[in-house]
Amino acid sequence: MSRKIPRAALAALLTLAAGAPLTACSDDGARPAYQADYADHPPLRVTGHPSTGSLETVQRAVWALADRDADALAALDTEGGDAGSEARAWVGTYGKAADGEVTADFLDEGSVRQEVVLHFGGPRRTQELTVRIGDDGTWGVVLDAPDPKPAER
């Protein structure tokens, strides 16, 4: 007797079979850093219309805050020079708050520059920041000294 395999099941099997060689080719099976960071942190709530670059940059900044990683935050700075003191101030001000619920309001359009307001749920404070494409052609943060404001909720 011949048994027919449903089309949906056949499609799923073909998809798995096609992906198996790609998985086997990875050198150590590790997820790319961005995917690992994404999985290891609470989701960032987003409003507005971020570009791919502005969204990824803000996510990385919030993750660096949550991880209390001033070096990673300073590495996102677009202004050149030593951003270490500003990054340490941001981590001191928002590190603990970034562990909780964070909402990013992306203002205006974000093709090369975008203003973003971060809302930290725990301490109920907000912080404005600018993300933009830097001189090296990659997205980063204009890392000024933090200026926390009470949330307007």
Task: Per-residue pLDDT tens, the chain, 153 aa: give them.
Answer: 555 656 554 444 444 444 433 333 444 444 577 777 777 788 899 999 999 999 999 999 999 999 999 999 999 999 888 899 999 999 999 999 999 999 999 998 989 999 999 999 877 889 999 999 998 899 999 998 888 777 665
Domain extents in the chain? 43-150
How is residue 119 written in tokens?
């809302």
pLDDT at residue number 76: 94
- Class of the CATH domain delimited by 43-150: alpha beta
> For the chain, what is the radius of gyration of the CA atoms?
20
pLDDT at residue number 4: 62
DSSP state, residue 136: T
How is residue 55 written in tokens?
């969204």
pLDDT at residue number 150: 74
Is residue 107 within 8 A of residue 92, CB to CB? The reply is no
Q: ∠4-9-12 over CA atoms, to 5°?
A: 145
pLDDT at residue number 93: 93
